């Protein structure tokens, strides 16, 4: 089941957080639904056919009975076949995951890197999603923009939520995705190859390719946004190589290569009739002056390729042996939308501790009405968080909020 696979991987990641906390991970997802291709106006050869399937995923993390974090993503599987000039049939499959929303409620009880480990666990789960197709890699994509809140209503009023300015926003996502990609590749490789503590597992790739593009920012500004590359660990852990710009050739026709995800500024621009001849470079220029990415806003596009091909042979337990098994327990699109309606209800209020508890109970009641898997309990067992000597307990650091909110202006 896809939901249990995601929950198990995220639980394993969250378990590394400072010891002494009781968390729970609950996953809601849809079945695969046929959808438009990610490059709907791409020029294709005559003897070509493709089919794109999409599913939506919502991850909710609670501490006690109170929601503390969430992540929403869409996962796309594209199956294609082409008859080439030599009259041979070439079939291929691709998986692309787009992280759409991340948020925290501000109710986390202590300082810990919850958001980084949530993202890392989700990236790790993508291996099980793609295994049935035996594909060589998974694309991971994210459009980062600052908003007050994404999943938890009125949480912007919670004094425990913290905001970052645009530069810090991009650097936070660069670091979070970098660490998450390295964690996913090394953890999956280690677990599937039977490595134990003190052993170094075979790593499928020594380096992972990743890209960051900030519309309106010049290449000379890249060091300010990307910073100094992070160390991703010791031997056997892949490094993440960040490249400035989109992962497409600048002169290529945008409609032929740029993936168009829902609710994305690039998708909206490429829907314009006069965009048919735009190159990738021209698309970036238009994004820089668009309402969502221009006018003093700093947003960023992140893309990475998580290698999968040589992670391991098929697992003996058959946890992801078929797409049918993966889709067991999946919600219909209508039931999934009903969960979101409950989450975004006008009576939801995460501005304070009491409101967060009431709102969490309301959502729990809504989840009880649909066939979702039970939450997976997590007892954290990692090293204690470092604190200054004699300092009082620090307020919660809302790492997810840091990724989606701007720093408030001081009058």
Integer Cα distance of 404 and 234 in angstroms? 31
Q: Which of 140-149, 254-263, 345-354 has the lowest mean pLDDT?
A: 140-149
Q: Which of 91-95, 194-198, 326-330, 407-411 has the lowest mean pLDDT?
A: 407-411
Q: Residue 74 contacts by C-beta under 8 Å, 6 or more apart in sequence?
A: 54, 55, 56, 57, 97, 98, 100, 261, 262
Residue 120 above 80 pLDDT?
yes
**Higher-confidence position of 296 and 198:** 296
Residue 201 above 60 pLDDT?
no
Name the pLDDT band for 131 (thresholds 50, 70, 90). low
Residue 323 above 80 pLDDT?
no
Integer Cα distance of 101 and 343 in angstroms? 13
Residue 276 above 60 pLDDT?
yes
With beta carbons less than 8 A apart as the criterion, state whether 141 and 96 touch: yes
- What per-residue confidence (pLDDT) applies to 35? 96
Express as a percent the part of the chain with pLDDT over 90.
Answer: 59
Q: Residue 238 contacts by C-beta under 8 Å, 6 or more apart in sequence?
A: 181, 182, 185, 186, 203, 204, 205, 206, 207, 208, 232, 307
Burial (CB count within 10 angstroms: exposed 0-12, middle 13-18, buried 19+), residue 277: exposed
Section 349-356 average pLDDT = 96
Query: What mean pLDDT value characterizes the chain?
Result: 83
Residue 322: C-alpha distances to residues 29, 31, 114, 131 (Å): 17, 13, 32, 9
Quick: pLDDT tens for 81-98.
988 777 888 888 999 999
Residue 40 above 60 pLDDT?
yes
With beta carbons less than 8 A apart as the criterion, state whether 119 and 99 touch: yes
Domain boundaries, the chain: 2-209+299-385+392-404
Q: Residue 20 contacts by C-beta under 8 Å, 6 or more apart in sequence?
A: 380
Section 94-108 average pLDDT = 93
Section 65-72 average pLDDT = 96
**Higher-confidence position of 399 and 231:** 231
- What per-residue confidence (pLDDT) applies to 205? 54
**Higher-confidence position of 406 and 140:** 140
- What per-residue confidence (pLDDT) applies to 297? 81
Residue 404 above 60 pLDDT?
no
């Amino acid at each position: 089941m896809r939901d249990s696979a995601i929950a198990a991987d995220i639980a394993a990641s969250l378990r590394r957080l400072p010891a002494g906390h009781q968390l729970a991970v609950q996953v809601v997802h849809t079945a695969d639904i046929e959808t438009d291709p990610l490059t709907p106006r791409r020029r294709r050869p005559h003897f070509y056919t493709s089919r794109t399937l999409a599913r939506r995923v919502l991850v909710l993390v609670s501490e006690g009975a109170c929601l503390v974090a969430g992540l929403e993503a869409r996962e796309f599987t594209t199956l294609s076949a082409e008859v080439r000039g030599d009259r041979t049939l070439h079939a291929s499959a691709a998986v692309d995951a787009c992280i759409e929303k991340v948020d925290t409620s501000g109710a986390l009880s202590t300082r810990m890197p919850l958001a980084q480990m949530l993202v890392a666990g989700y990236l790790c789960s993508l291996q099980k999603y793609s295994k049935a197709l035996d594909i060589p890699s998974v694309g991971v994509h994210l459009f980062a923009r600052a908003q007050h809140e994404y999943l938890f209503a009125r949480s912007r009023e919670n004094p425990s939520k913290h905001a970052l300015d645009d530069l810090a926003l991009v650097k936070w996502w660069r670091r979070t995705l970098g660490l998450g990609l390295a964690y996913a590749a090394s953890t999956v490789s280690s677990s599937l190859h039977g490595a134990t503590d003190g052993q170094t597992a075979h790593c499928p790739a020594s380096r992972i390719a990743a890209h960051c593009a900030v519309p309106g920012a010049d290449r000379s500004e890249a060091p300010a946004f990307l910073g100094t590359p992070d160390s991703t660990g010791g031997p056997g852990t892949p490094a993440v190589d960040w490249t400035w710009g989109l992962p497409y050739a600048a002169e290529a026709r945008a409609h032929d290569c740029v993936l168009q995800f829902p609710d994305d500024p690039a998708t909206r621009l490429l829907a314009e009739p006069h965009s048919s001849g735009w190159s990738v470079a021209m698309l970036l220029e238009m994004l820089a002056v668009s309402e969502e990415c221009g006018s003093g806003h700093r947003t960023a596009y992140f893309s990475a390729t998580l290698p999968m091909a040589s992670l391991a042979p098929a697992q003996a337990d058959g946890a992801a042996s078929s797409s049918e098994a993966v889709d067991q327990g999946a919600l219909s699109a209508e039931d999934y939308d009903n969960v979101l309606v409950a989450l975004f209800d006008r009576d939801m209020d995460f501005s304070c501790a009491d409101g967060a508890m009431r709102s969490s109970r309301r959502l729990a009641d809504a989840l009880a009405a649909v066939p979702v898997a039970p939450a997976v309990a997590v007892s954290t067992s990692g090293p204690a968080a470092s604190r200054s000597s004699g300092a009082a307990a620090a307020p919660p650091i809302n790492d997810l909020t840091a990724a989606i909110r701007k720093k408030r202006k001081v009058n």
